[in-house]
């Protein structure tokens, strides 16, 4: 008999699916949150005999269980832990630990890809094209490589995972991986995935109109309240407002918040750790403790949402040699214009600001951070120019 304890996300469940392909009814699988794993391990050690082989994938145990598992192993117990998280590398000191973050090819690993390799190498399962394809989709999703490669299929696999229950997901994946020689979605899945995509798009459009910005500690944050689609939302808003260092997504009901960034100069796991949380460099989270609540809710609740840049302009466009016109909530106007080849400056109303920028982009970031200004529509720009001309002819 085998028992597999795994994470309850796509990568963790991918491990369960691979294990069931390999062992069929001989494996019992349990999916856990990060916190739930240790109870399961303790239960296993107290209740199961040495004839059951224990796999732990995509998660690592606490120190107490690390010692217990080593004792279990030394006294003849069968256990194999397989993980790909940097923080778990020290488990490689044990015979039963196998942690690998990156392949020799430079590609990041996932728990599913490591388990698949392990089972094939140990001749516990036959490799197949369909399974290899499924494993690769999971890996790309889990490591964010899908974004770089714009691998929509990987993203859709994760979307499907959240649309159905884990049991349903497992079952439908198992039947197609056993039979097919390539991995595909069926027509019904394609249809609900399309509907889901439309729904997310509308949700993001609505949330975009609620985004406020605030300088919190040393960063400019975009703050939005949302219960769903945190990754998509954080990613989209981050791209649309690149002057913000990160996007903070507050789930008031869940008393939690998430951080997302698209920038390399920001490590949001560090930002989350200031509030007792953690996570990855580009995506992290924390509980909404008193300090976080004060900074992200109390002190920003009165703020007006950011306005969007006008999108369909022909004249008032970015990096124009005539200058680009912005406006803020107090109806101040700002013209960002090139002074010469290397320098950009800003004229606020009648007055030229002291700041000199080496690129249009730097100037725009300054405008957006300090004045929450937005690019105005063409007609405002034309009116601005007419006024200038009139003044000049007086």
Binding footprint of Mn ion on the chain (CB under 5 A) = 11, 58, 111, 142
Smallest separation (angstroms) from Mn ion to the CB of 258: 17
Smallest separation (angstroms) from Mn ion to the CB of 111: 5
Smallest separation (angstroms) from Mn ion to the CB of 135: 12
Q: Both tokens of residue 290?
A: 């008193």
The smaller minimum CB distance to Mn ion, of residues 60 and 236, is found at 60
The smaller minimum CB distance to Mn ion, of residues 269 and 361, is found at 269
The smaller minimum CB distance to Mn ion, of residues 40 and 142, is found at 142
The smaller minimum CB distance to Mn ion, of residues 59 and 367, is found at 59
The residue sitting closest to Mn ion, measured at its beta carbon, is 11
Smallest separation (angstroms) from Mn ion to the CB of 56: 13
The smaller minimum CB distance to Mn ion, of residues 38 and 113, is found at 113
The smaller minimum CB distance to Mn ion, of residues 28 and 85, is found at 85
The smaller minimum CB distance to Mn ion, of residues 97 and 338, is found at 97
The smaller minimum CB distance to Mn ion, of residues 58 and 232, is found at 58
State CA 336 to chain mean position distance: 33
Exposed e or buried b per residue across 290-301, where buried means at least 16 C-beta atoms within 10 angstroms of its C-beta: eebbebbeeebe
Smallest separation (angstroms) from Mn ion to the CB of 142: 5
Smallest separation (angstroms) from Mn ion to the CB of 52: 24
Full 3-state SS string of the chain? CEEEEEECCHHHHHHHHHHHHHHHHHEEEEEECCCCHHHHHHHHHHHCCCCCEEEEECCCCCHHHHHHHHHHHHCCCCEEEEECCHHHHHHHHCCCEEECCECCCCCECCHHHHHHHHHHHCCCCCCCHHHHHHHHHHHHHHCCHHHHCCCHHHHHHHHHHHHCCHHHHHHHHHHHHHHCCCCCCCHHHHHHHHHHHHHHHHHHHHHHCCCEEEEECCEEEEEEECCCCHHHHHHHHHHHCCCCCEEEEEECCCCEEEEECCCCCCCHHHHHHCCCCEECCCEEEEECCHHHHHHHHHCCCCCCCCCCCCCCCCCCCCCCCCCEEEECCCCCEEEEEECCCCCEEEEECCEECCCCECCHHHHHHHHHHHHCCEECCHHHHHHHHHHHHHHHHC
Distance CA 261, CA 177 (A): 35
The smaller minimum CB distance to Mn ion, of residues 136 and 245, is found at 136
The smaller minimum CB distance to Mn ion, of residues 58 and 327, is found at 58
Smallest separation (angstroms) from Mn ion to the CB of 14: 8
Smallest separation (angstroms) from Mn ion to the CB of 83: 8
Smallest separation (angstroms) from Mn ion to the CB of 305: 35
Distance CA 157, CA 291 (A): 37
Smallest separation (angstroms) from Mn ion to the CB of 23: 21
- Residue 127's alpha-carbon distances to 55, 119, 264, 358, in angstroms, are 20, 9, 37, 55
């Amino acid at each position: 008999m085998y028992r597999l304890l795994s994470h309850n996300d796509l990568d963790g469940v991918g491990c369960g699916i691979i294990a069931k392909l390999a062992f069929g009814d001989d494996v019992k699988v349990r999916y856990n949150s990060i916190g739930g794993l240790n109870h399961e391990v303790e239960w296993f050690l107290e209740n199961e005999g040495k004839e059951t082989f224990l796999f732990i994938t995509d998660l690592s145990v606490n120190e107490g269980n690390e010692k217990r598992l080593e004792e279990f192993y030394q006294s003849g117990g069968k256990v194999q832990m397989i993980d790909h998280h940097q923080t778990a590398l020290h488990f490689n000191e044990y015979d039963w630990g196998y942690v690998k973050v990156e392949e020799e090819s430079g590609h990041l690993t996932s728990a599913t890809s490591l388990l698949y390799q392990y089972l094939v190498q140990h001749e516990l399962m036959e490799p197949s094209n369909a399974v290899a394809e499924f494993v690769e989709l999971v890996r790309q999703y889990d490591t964010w490589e899908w974004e770089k490669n714009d691998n929509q299929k990987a993203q859709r696999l994760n979307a499907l995972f959240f649309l159905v229950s884990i049991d349903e997901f497992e079952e439908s994946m198992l039947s197609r991986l056993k039979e097919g020689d390539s991995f595909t979605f069926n027509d019904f899945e394609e249809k609900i995935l399309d509907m889901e995509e439309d729904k997310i798009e509308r949700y993001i459009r609505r949330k975009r109109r609620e985004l406020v910005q605030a300088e919190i500690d040393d960063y400019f944050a975009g703050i939005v309240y949302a219960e769903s689609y945190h990754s998509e939302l954080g990613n989209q808003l981050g791209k649309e407002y690149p002057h913000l260092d990160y996007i903070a997504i507050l789930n008031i009901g869940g008393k939690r918040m998430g951080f997302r960034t698209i920038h390399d100069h920001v490590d949001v796991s560090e930002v989350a750790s200031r509030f007792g949380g953690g996570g990855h460099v580009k995506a992290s989270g924390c509980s909404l403790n008193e300090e976080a609540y004060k900074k992200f809710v109390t002190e920003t609740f009165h703020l007006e949402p950011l306005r969007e840049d006008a999108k369909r302009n022909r004249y008032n466009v970015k990096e124009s040699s005539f200058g680009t016109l912005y406006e803020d909530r107090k109806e101040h106007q700002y013209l960002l214009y090139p002074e010469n080849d290397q320098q950009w400056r800003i004229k606020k109303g009648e007055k030229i600001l002291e700041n000199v920028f080496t690129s249009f982009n730097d100037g725009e970031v300054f405008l957006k951070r300090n004045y929450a200004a937005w690019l105005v529509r063409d007609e405002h720009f034309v009116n601005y120019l007419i006024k200038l001309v009139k003044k000049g002819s007086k």
